[in-house]
């Protein structure tokens, strides 16, 4: 759905003549509290620059409209676009889920910081994705399936969608809904990082990283599959983004967590210390909001309204159930009691585990993929602690490890579609080794790309601003006071 | 929409040859913390068994598809399935509503337990309903309108839905969406129980009961009406489940609450002691989530997208408003001040009171049905306390008593449909005694069935595992430590 | 969509013969805790009166149905009504957003009060809007574009919608969905007031004001634009209600806040004292729920499902992002650290700023309108404090000031529609002065109307019941004990 990106090259050329770095640089500095009169000039300059570019008017459109469609065409066009818009809203709602899960699983002295990160990062991700991300992800190929570009500033002419519908195609989305759906995905990747670097990262530095991730790193690798790039050519399957979204978020955060090091007091004599979250109520609420949001994430990735949408919803639901049950049973077996954080992470693990294969798995296969994800997450949390990598909310175990698992499980017991009767394509159900290798290759490619680029990004940001970690004193006192000058719950007495 | 249940009898026969009890028995034991190497064997056995049954591939399908439908057929097919899917998401979201209402109305020392129950039970309910519940509820009659069965493991072939649409019918749902909608209802029934047995029931025992309720007890009695069983034959009306879902949940919980007895210190010298909930913020949030979720529950029960969906939404809204106003006015009159828990329970009472009749009542009739529900809930709470039956969150008053009220009010001032011009069918608007008696019979049948089967179920579970109630010491300390080894709000100091 | 309002004049005439003031007067008194046996008589009288009016049955309908529509007609009819119903649910969900934002930003000792107001007011607003509000807003003109009326008690005959669809029109909504969508808007206006008068207004007096606002004041001025009244005739643009809903709520609350005066201790020697909110977690959740809800509010105001719905969603999203970024950067520049409450209010400011122009602005123009809104809200909060007008949650800065800004910005850089190619209609993009003056006139008209009528309403209510402010003692202790006899968080120790 990239029609609109090419409609007005003239305006975009003009835009690029303006020094595009000036605004962001000032933004960076202002975020770190650097007071400058230049900022005021910037605030006045931007609107003027935009007026000069006549960015407040549209170009003309032509072509068919809703009234030109036949009955079946109108029915599919309207249902497709309505469904995708609803799916978009559900995915955007996931921001609330992430905010509640992450805040609830951290300590109250850092709650404002985590909430602020989640809230602000979505605003930045949408802006960055509008400015350049969507273009990098869904523009025209400029380097053989590895790099795409379609000009700056996404704009939306619905003509192409009507032409598509009038030609009898399905899944003809207007650019606005396609953009918003994709922008919400970009925001998700950034939000996952937030959990991994929680309770010790500086606010401004995190924010800058999130812009880079959602505006550049994520869109580039996303194009490899979802814009028909080299991985799509190879036959890689990642229906809704176990690798493309979740593992990218997980790897990006893992690099951050490793560069930051563990929180003060987390590991004593090689043993992980419990640092329980401050509100299981909002963490549970967040998990249920995420569960709901996943009905936009996975079934929405069908990018059309048809008989498969609900099918994907069932595979998604059963995987979540399998993950919850397996993680709960396993954590009860190993620790004697069912841990609520493990029920939560089991659900999320199940959901991530089916995200790639939600359109390529039977119901039983889905439940089992989720259940194995639920087992994996319990062991992954323990393994990270053994390696003294501090992941406060278990985000890498859920999104990184299960993101990889969800990708490769298709190569184990995936099927080649959602219609009854598809052939098995996995190692264990008659499909041979090929799909498994492609899935592993894709998962590996996302890991390498993300780890390398994010290492560079975190390092540059840290170098520019004197490190990405708050001071020891600030960390002990809590980031809410240090980074935001406020408390999350000022009316309540602390337990200590 | 049971087509899919019969498509592959061969596979199902094979499945039944495996000892189906082995897995669940191990699950039961493992939930109680019984460590065993057998569990590991089980974890390895299940996937292998499933592979042997080739559960990872589908059978072939045939018949028409979306492209074969005419304009009006495609429009209704897509709108019906999209609407039902959205309704399903809304009903699943009610889990968050129940979790927040129940947790908020209980004490903080039991919050983890309540949250864990709500979260985990939905995973179990979906699994149980997929395994057998849907089949018991929507399978083929095997005992004259009283018992149905359609094989184990629901599976989804959309062919039948397209055949239905191609024949010009409306409400042609693909099996996946129908299954998920119904599974969400099954989960609701189980969640209601959670509130009644809160703050004193053992986690594992409750979980087992919830599986039995959502997988067996609820589906069997649900079929009596919604699969065209004996109650449907009699002309019983319960559009969205005042009796079938809410009163069943209420009765099931009431039996649990009576077997458990009241919480320590609840009744002193025959007087109920206040045990205020720990967070009115999340309780209020939960009420509003439930209100929203009810727009899936009631209008979704139209099982199609048509002009009546919004009509049902209006009756639902007005009943909620009536319930809130009546309960608030009454509780202000009786206690001097408007109690927030009574506003919440008034809203929920109004919603339950219209659930059966939301398609068979005028707007004024709906508001009044809700308002009477709001009055009833205030008295019912007092009556239960007088009987020393401890219902910590008022769940029986809301779901049980108003569930019965919502069922019989159709016999008082119901009308025979949603089109303008339907005849009155109630005692008070010209319909005579017949409908009233049928409604009372149905409400009574659900009460008797649920009380008897649940008494048996709770008793067997209690007998197997040494009672369903936690120790006095654990209850005093809080179930969060005892059952889960964690606290909901470890950072905050307790008030005492 | 007012067809239904005129269908049965006979019944309505009868209704008006009953003294309509009797019930409400008793309600008023009972809310203030005035115990009276008359109330019981009232409870018994209303149902009997309703029976006498045969309000429990419908009149007959005629005309076409779903089956009479052609393919394109059925497709648009179903998509339009489904989308509007979903939009309605999203707007109703905003009640949860407002409740969480307002409660989270106030102190814990007043949390029950704020939650109760938000919850109860929606029930009352829906009832009042059903009783008379919808009729005043969408009835027939009785005074040349200034006043409308269509009888008491909205009722819903879908015949007109089918006739509309069969004639080939789009946006043919059944009355039920139109009513519910509009009722949710009425509730929003009332809820905004709640934030401005928080922590010091009496519960019962506020409740009465909310009924008057949502049932009479808001509908009358709403008709000026949305029922094709005098402002619509002038060419005033307010797509989704920056002025009509948000500024009306803001002005209504401002009058209340000024009449009440500031909270005890808020201003000491002319300096505003910090009174931080008690839960940033629920305030952040509320902001995200409101963001989601706005996708019903703005795109839903298209009143049809077409290619513009997602366009409006993108302008809405970008304005929210712009508002968040501008407010965060500015508050960081001025106070040194990014304040979470400013991120929240920046998002809401951006959303309000685009509400009028969401269908009349480019993407860049939308982002900028939101960003300017984010700047405005920071200054407006400071300005109100300088004027010693106490707005505990910043509601006037967000809804009042940005409501006006969102209205006039259309006159600065609005365009004349959503299709590519529309002409600029603002001062700064070639449209001349005309639209700007019309926008300013409209914004001014809503300000004057609301301030005058609300001053009268608050004054009468205060005069009847001995003032609208709680006692000094009650305010110091907290309204939760004083007004409701309960605490929001009884288990937790206070910080003081």
Report pLDDT digits (tens) over A255-284: 999 999 999 999 999 999 999 999 999 999
Which of these, C126, C190, C114, C193, lies nearest to C153 by C-alpha position?
Answer: C126
Q: Which pair of tokens denotes residue A432? A: 């041979």
Which residue of A99, A126, A176 is in closest CB contact with C310?
A176
pLDDT means per 10 residues in chain B (496 residues)? 29 30 45 45 54 50 83 96 98 98 97 96 96 95 90 84 94 95 95 96 96 97 96 97 98 98 96 96 98 98 95 97 97 92 97 97 95 97 96 97 98 88 85 94 98 97 95 95 94 87
Interface A:C, Cβ pairs < 8 A: 255
Give B225→chain C minimum CA distance, Å. Answer: 25
User: What's the confidence (pLDDT) of residue C44?
Assistant: 52
Ranges of H-type helices in B303-362? 308-335, 340-355
Using an 8 Å Cβ cutoff, are B94 and B290 in contact?
A: yes
| Residues 284 through 303 of chain C touching chain A, CB cutoff 8 Å | 284-285, 287-289, 291-292, 295, 299
Which of these, B452, B83, B493, lies nearest to B300 by C-alpha position?
Answer: B83
The residues, ordered by sequence, that sit 6+ positions from C460 with a Cβ below 8 Å of its Cβ are: none
Q: Is the pLDDT assigned to residue A7 strictly greater than 80?
A: no
B154 touches chain A (CB under 8 A): yes
Which residues of chain B neighbour A108 with C-beta distances below 8 Å? 491-492
Cβ-count burial of A10 within 10 angstroms (0-12 exposed, 13-18 middle, 19+ buried)? exposed
Which residues of chain B neighbour C102 with C-beta distances below 8 Å? none
User: What's the confidence (pLDDT) of residue B181?
Assistant: 97
CA distance C371 to B439: 58
In the three-class reduction of DSSP (H, G, I as helix; E, B as strand; rest coil), residue B163 is classed as helix
Taking an 8 Å cut-off on Cβ atoms, the answer to whether B329 and C79 are in contact is no
Which of these, B194, B128, B254, B85, lies nearest to B479 by C-alpha position?
Answer: B194
CA distance C4 to C335: 56
CB-CB neighbours of C404 under 10 Å: 27
Buried b (16+ CB within 10 A) or exposed e, B444-458: ebbbebbeebbbebb
> Looking at the DSSP assignment, which residues form a beta bridge with residue B424?
B415
Which residues of chain B neighbour A429 with C-beta distances below 8 Å? 51, 54, 56-57
- Residues of chain C whose pLDDT is less than 70? 1-62, 420-421, 496
Nearest-10 crossing angle of helices C308-335, A71-104: 20
CA distance C161 to C140: 18
Write the class of the CATH domain A70-146+170-484.
Answer: mainly alpha
Q: Residues A86-119: pLDDT tens digits?
A: 999 999 999 999 999 999 999 999 999 999 999 9
Who has greater pLDDT, B471 or A15?
B471
CA distance C178 to C172: 10
User: What's the confidence (pLDDT) of residue A421?
Assistant: 66
Using an 8 Å Cβ cutoff, are C425 and C415 in contact?
A: yes
Q: Residues C161-208: pLDDT tens digits?
A: 999 999 999 999 999 999 999 999 999 999 999 999 999 999 999 999
User: What's the confidence (pLDDT) of residue C48?
Assistant: 52
Beta strand B267-268 with B148-149 is unpaired
How far is residue B26 CA from its own chain's centroid?
27
User: What's the confidence (pLDDT) of residue B53?
Assistant: 47
Taking an 8 Å cut-off on Cβ atoms, the answer to whether C324 and A74 are in contact is no
CA distance A221 to A224: 5
| Residues 221 through 280 of chain C touching chain A, CB cutoff 8 Å | 276, 278-280
Both ends of chain A: CA-CA distance in Å? 56
User: What's the confidence (pLDDT) of residue B36?
Assistant: 41
CA distance A133 to A129: 4
> Looking at the DSSP assignment, which residues form a beta bridge with residue C149?
C140
User: What's the confidence (pLDDT) of residue A62?
Assistant: 62
> Looking at the DSSP assignment, which residues form a beta bridge with residue C241?
none
User: What's the confidence (pLDDT) of residue A432?
Assistant: 86
A95 touches chain C (CB under 8 A): yes
Using an 8 Å Cβ cutoff, are C18 and C49 in contact?
A: yes
Chains that touch B (3 or more CB pairs under 8 A): A, C
Q: Would you kindly state where each structural domain of chain C is located, as residue ranges?
A: 70-146+170-484
Chains that touch C (3 or more CB pairs under 8 A): A, B
The residues, ordered by sequence, that sit 6+ positions from A178 with a Cβ below 8 Å of its Cβ are: A1, A84, A138, A303
In the three-class reduction of DSSP (H, G, I as helix; E, B as strand; rest coil), residue A312 is classed as helix
User: What's the confidence (pLDDT) of residue C30?
Assistant: 46
pLDDT band per the 50, 70, 90 thresholds, residue A53 = very low
A127 touches chain C (CB under 8 A): yes
Q: Is the pLDDT assigned to residue A23 strictly greater than 50?
A: no
Which of these, A194, A170, A173, lies nearest to A99 by C-alpha position?
Answer: A194
C489 touches chain A (CB under 8 A): yes
B415 touches chain C (CB under 8 A): yes
User: What's the confidence (pLDDT) of residue A269?
Assistant: 93
pLDDT band per the 50, 70, 90 thresholds, residue A159 = confident
**ipTM of this model?**
0.90
| Percent of chain A topping pLDDT 70 | 87
Taking an 8 Å cut-off on Cβ atoms, the answer to whether B485 and A365 are in contact is no
CA distance B290 to B416: 27
Question: Taking residues A301-323, what's their average pLDDT?
Answer: 97
Which of these, B178, B21, B9, B130, lies nearest to A368 by C-alpha position?
Answer: B130
Give B413→chain A minimum CA distance, Å. Answer: 37
Q: What is the CA angle C252-C253-C258, rounded to 5?
A: 105
Q: Residues B139-158: pLDDT tens digits?
A: 999 988 899 999 888 877 88
The residues, ordered by sequence, that sit 6+ positions from A214 with a Cβ below 8 Å of its Cβ are: A121, A124, A125, A128, A129, A133, A186, A187, A189, A190
CA distance B337 to C302: 42
C202 touches chain A (CB under 8 A): no
B70 touches chain A (CB under 8 A): yes
Q: Which pair of tokens denotes residue B450? A: 């649920």
Taking an 8 Å cut-off on Cβ atoms, the answer to whether B78 and A305 are in contact is yes
Buried b (16+ CB within 10 A) or exposed e, C172-185: bbbbbbbbbbbbbb
Chain length of chain B: 496
* Largest Cα–Cα separation, chain B: 72
Which of these, C43, C34, C41, lies nearest to C204 by C-alpha position?
Answer: C34
User: What's the confidence (pLDDT) of residue A358?
Assistant: 97
User: What's the confidence (pLDDT) of residue B432?
Assistant: 86
Query: What's the alpha-carbon Rg for chain B, to the nearest Å?
Result: 23
Query: What's the alpha-carbon Rg for chain C, to the nearest Å?
Result: 23
B364 touches chain C (CB under 8 A): yes
Using an 8 Å Cβ cutoff, are C281 and A145 in contact?
A: no
B335 touches chain C (CB under 8 A): yes
In the three-class reduction of DSSP (H, G, I as helix; E, B as strand; rest coil), residue C369 is classed as helix
Q: What is the CA angle C489-C495-C496, rounded to 5?
A: 120
B126 CB-side CA count, 13 A: 31
C141 CB-side CA count, 13 A: 11
């Amino acid at each position: 759905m990239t029609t609109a990106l090419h409609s007005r090259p003239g305006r975009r050329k003009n835009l690029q003549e303006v020094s595009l770095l000036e605004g962001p640089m000032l933004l960076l500095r202002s975020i770190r509290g650097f007071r400058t009169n230049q900022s005021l000039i910037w605030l006045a300059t931007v609107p003027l620059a935009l007026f000069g570019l006549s960015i407040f008017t549209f170009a003309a459109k032509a072509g068919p409209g809703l009234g030109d469609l036949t009955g079946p065409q109108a029915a599919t066009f309207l249902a497709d676009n309505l469904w995708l818009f609803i799916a978009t809203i559900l995915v955007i709602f996931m921001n609330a889920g992430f905010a509640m899960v992450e805040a609830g699983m951290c300590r109250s002295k850092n709650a404002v910081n985590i909430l602020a990160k989640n809230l602000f990062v979505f605003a930045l991700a949408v802006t960055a994705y509008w400015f350049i991300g969507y273009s990098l992800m869904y523009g025209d190929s400029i380097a053989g399936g590895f790099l795409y570009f379609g000009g700056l500033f996404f704009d939306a002419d619905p003509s192409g969608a009507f032409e598509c519908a009038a030609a009898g195609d399905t899944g003809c989305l207007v650019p606005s809904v396609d953009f918003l759906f994709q922008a919400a995905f970009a925001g998700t990747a950034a939000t996952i990082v937030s959990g991994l670097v929680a309770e010790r990262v500086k606010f401004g530095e995190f924010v800058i990283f999130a812009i880079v991730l959602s505006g550049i790193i994520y869109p580039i690798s996303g194009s490899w599959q979802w814009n028909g790039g080299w991985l799509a050519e190879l036959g890689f399957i990642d229906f809704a983004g176990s690798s493309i979204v979740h593992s990218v978020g997980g790897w990006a955060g893992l690099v951050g967590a490793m560069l930051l090091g563990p929180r003060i007091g987390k590991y004593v004599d090689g043993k992980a210390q419990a640092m329980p979250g401050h509100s299981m109520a909002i963490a549970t609420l967040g998990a249920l909001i995420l569960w709901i949001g996943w009905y936009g994430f996975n079934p929405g990735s069908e990018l059309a309204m048809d008989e498969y949408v609900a099918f994907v919803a069932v595979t998604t639901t059963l995987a979540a159930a399998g993950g919850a049950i397996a993680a709960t049973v396993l954590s009860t077996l190993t620790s004697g009691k069912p841990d609520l954080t493990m029920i939560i992470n089991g659900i999320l693990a199940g959901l991530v585990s089916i995200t790639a294969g939600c359109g390529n798995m039977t119901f039983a296969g889905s439940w089992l993929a989720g259940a194995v994800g639920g087992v994996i997450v319990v062991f992954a949390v323990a393994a990270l602690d053994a390696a003294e990598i501090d992941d406060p909310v278990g985000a890498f175990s859920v999104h990184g490890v299960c993101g990889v698992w969800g990708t490769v499980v298709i190569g184990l017991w995936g099927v080649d579609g959602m219609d009854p009767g598809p052939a098995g394509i996995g190692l264990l159900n008659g499909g041979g080794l090929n799909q498994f290798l492609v899935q592993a290759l894709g998962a590996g490619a996302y890991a390498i790309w993300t780890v390398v680029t994010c290492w560079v990004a975190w390092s540059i940001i840290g170098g520019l601003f004197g490190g990405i970690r708050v001071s020891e004193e600030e960390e002990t006192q809590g980031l809410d006071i240090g980074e935001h000058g406020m408390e999350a719950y000022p009316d309540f007495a602390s337990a200590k």
